[in-house]
Structure 1
Amino acid sequence: MTPTSFSTRDAMTLLDAPPVFDVTHWPLEVERYLEKTENSFHRAILKNYFRHLLLEVSGYWDQIIVPELTVDEPVYRVGDRGSVEVLTGKAAVENFYRETFEARVNVMGARTMNMCVEDFGVTTEARWAHVVPGQYLLDHQHDVAADPDAHYLMNYNIFQIFAYTSEAKLIGERIYVDSASYTYEELAPQNVVTPEQARQALAPLLSRATLD
């Protein structure tokens, strides 16, 4: 029998990702998606999503759960390694972002991604990456023999749903990680992206990530 051939543009199948992590890659892909989106409501959702992601990765955790971007009582569901953490309300969600920033693991992004926007919000499936200190992996019991003085690229598959109101404000996120997909790459010093470097690299994008 002749093997069946499938034609696909599925980024998760092709794994068409840059060999070296680039903190600007994911935001630029979102910006290109926004540029080709014509529906005005979908554009408003994407503008919110775009600004949110840039604030998060740049470490401006205290500017995300604000009235112009997010409802008063957001709800997040974060599933990973057989458990789901439910975060309800501004304080709980803001604390989630603050802890990420304080642990210096806010440098992250999609290496390759499938994405769509509809009236309910944004759905993404991605091969995700975090730049993390080796000590973080030891503290959080990841299955890797990490050097606490090194930095690693922690990769995994992730599925995310971002829900928005009719005013294009974020209601909450549902985040589900494929726990069997984790891989780890020890980074050469020249390939480490620090939170400070990420903030600087993303500053031009953030300056044009307005809701107008």
Structure 2
Amino acid sequence: MSKYLKAFADYMAASKAAALAEPNPHRQAILLNYNRHAALEFSDMWQQIFTPEMTVAHPKYKVHLGSPELIDFDGEAAVKGFYGALNESVVWLQDEELFVNDHGLSSFSTFGQFVSGKDAIAAGYDGVDDPDATYALMCPLAMFWPYDENAKLIGEEVYQLTPLELVKPDPEDVFTFEERAAVLKPYI
């Protein structure tokens, strides 16, 4: 298995384990919502996040990832546009430290996204020695997710902590949408 796919599988398992180990029912509900949210988002079933059971009617996101500016996504239509764009390439999280309280959760993790060498060159990244190879863009990420009294997601704040770093993975460490979806089946 790809080392990145294994790290992603570990991320999913750890957030589920944290939820099941949480003794506070409200906090457990927040963590279970988060784990299901991640499974739906990364399995390209992200449209199912927008149910009255999981998300408030008017979510608000603030995202600083892959652009120099903080971008606001205000309302369901805008947030859906964010997810649509995010799922145009294989992305994942790994190495997460997860924290929960009565108002929501926060985490520190590593973000990864596969890109082609051609796309990396077009985006201005140095170090591309093969335009036909797959590369990974990676950076540390901090996230803050507020939840309401019914453990429904209010929004997300996502912050890229350093510039995205271009890494050339070994070919066996590149994984596909389908391989990622297979890892997520137990969480949906």
Q: What's the TM-score once normalised by structure 2's chain length?
A: 0.88
Residues 1:75 and 2:64 aligned together:
no
Cα deviation for residue 178 of structure 1 reads 1.3
**Corresponding residue of 2:108:** 125
| Counterpart contact for 1:62–1:98, Cα < 8 Å | no
Distance verdict in 2 for CA 1:134–1:63, change over 3 Å: farther
Measured in 2, the distance between the counterparts of 1:135 and 1:36 equals 44
Q: CA RMSD in A?
A: 1.9
Alignment of structure 1 residues 123-202 onto 2, 5 Å: 123-139=106-122, 141=123, 143-146=125-128, 147-180=130-163, 182-202=164-184
Out of 48, 57, 68, which is 2:33 matched to? 48
2:46 alignment partner AA: W
Measured in 1, the distance between the counterparts of 2:22 and 2:83 equals 29
Measured in 2, the distance between the counterparts of 1:145 and 1:197 equals 27
**Corresponding residue of 2:51:** 66
**Corresponding residue of 2:42:** 57
Out of 60, 72, 92, which is 2:78 matched to? 92
| Counterpart contact for 2:30–2:104, Cα < 8 Å | yes
1:76 alignment partner AA: Y
| Counterpart contact for 1:73–1:90, Cα < 8 Å | yes
Q: Number of residues paired by the alignment?
A: 183
| Counterpart contact for 2:125–2:166, Cα < 8 Å | no
Unaligned runs of 5+ in 2: none
Unaligned runs of 5+ in 1: 1-18, 207-212
Q: Which has the larger radius of gyration?
A: 1
| Counterpart contact for 1:131–1:154, Cα < 8 Å | yes
Paired residue secondary structure (1:76): strand
Distance verdict in 2 for CA 1:97–1:148, change over 3 Å: farther
**Corresponding residue of 1:114:** 97
